[in-house]
Structure 1
Amino acid sequence: MYSIVKNLHSYWAYLVLIILILAVVNSLIKTFSDKEYEAKDFRIALFTLIVTHIQLLIGLVLYFTSPNGVQNIVNNGMGGLSSFARLLAVEHPFVGILAITFITIGYSKHKKKLTSKPKHKTIAIFYTIGLILVLTRIPWSVWLG
């Protein structure tokens, strides 16, 4: 079970990154070129929101079933964790939740805007913050290695 959830979390992360980068680039281009907000832009923002929330759910299941999550903290205490173990047990989940919070706030705020430029700008700001947070806490040595 654990290996299936771990692989799902790892491979789903590729989709999250691709869609999140697409949403950020789309909103930045349209913000700076004063393009109209279209149904396609709404779908990209919504799909990004959905994909990131699914990743969060998979990650939470992994966190509570993984030997690198809660169990590692219980067994070793915070002082007994190596820097990599701390990344997996604390930093990665916390910053991931923070990133998804920014994405969710951006999506919610953009829906309340009435014109195109503020809609694109809101998505650009909040989704970019979410993307940066995600990129800082990916365990690259495990993910690419």
Structure 2
Amino acid sequence: MYETVKMLHSYWAYLTLLLIVIATLNALFKYFGKKEFHPLDFRISLFTLIVTHIQLLIGIVLLFAYLDVISGAGMKEIMGNSVLRSNVVEHPLMMIIAVVLITIGYSKHKKKLTSTPKFKMLAIFYTLALISVLAKIPWNTWF
């Protein structure tokens, strides 16, 4: 089960990262270009929200499966091993923060009535989320 969930989490991550980049760039370009907010912009931000939440759920399942694999390791061993610490503590925490930022940005943009504040909320929170994701992607296993 662990290998299947790991594979699903890994492949879904490509889609997740792609959508976060697209949504962030869309918000930034349209905010600075003073463009109007269209239904496509809403769909891009919503689809990014949905995909990131699915990735989070897959990641939580993977984390519990991974904890089952390393159940004999204590916290001292996990924190002392940089790979284990990254997989069990740092990566999940940063990804949760990224999903929270995307959720906050999406929720705040819906409350704004005009285009510029909508794009501003999306640009700020989605950019912070993108930075969080890029900071803790395990790049050595991606390529």
Same fold (TM over 0.5): yes
* Counterpart for residue 127 of structure 1: 126
Q: After superposition, where does 1:1-145 map in structure 2 within 5 Å?
A: 1-66=1-66, 69=67, 72=70, 74-81=71-78, 82-144=81-143
Q: State the 1:76 CA deviation.
A: 2.1
CA contact (8 A) 1:24 1:127 kept: yes
Partners in 2 of 1:32 and 1:22 — Cα distance?
Answer: 15
Partners in 2 of 1:88 and 1:117 — Cα distance?
Answer: 38
Aligned alpha-carbon RMSD (Å): 1.1
Partners in 2 of 1:65 and 1:27 — Cα distance?
Answer: 36
Indicate the SS of the match to 1:75: coil
Q: Deviations over 1:77-131 (max 9, x none)?
A: 2221211110001001111101100000000000000100000010000001011
TM normalised by structure 1 equals 0.93
Partners in 1 of 2:51 and 2:73 — Cα distance?
Answer: 33
Partners in 1 of 2:68 and 2:18 — Cα distance?
Answer: 29
Q: Deviations over 1:46-105 (max 9, x none)?
A: 000000000000001100012xx4653x52222212111100010011111011000000
Identity across the alignment (%): 57
TM normalised by structure 2 equals 0.95
Equivalent residue pairs, number: 141
| Equivalent position amino acid for 1:58 in 2 | I
| Equivalent position amino acid for 2:45 in 1 | A
| Equivalent position amino acid for 1:78 in 2 | M
| Equivalent position amino acid for 1:43 in 2 | R
| Equivalent position amino acid for 2:10 in 1 | S
Partners in 2 of 1:137 and 1:75 — Cα distance?
Answer: 25
CA contact (8 A) 1:70 1:89 kept: no
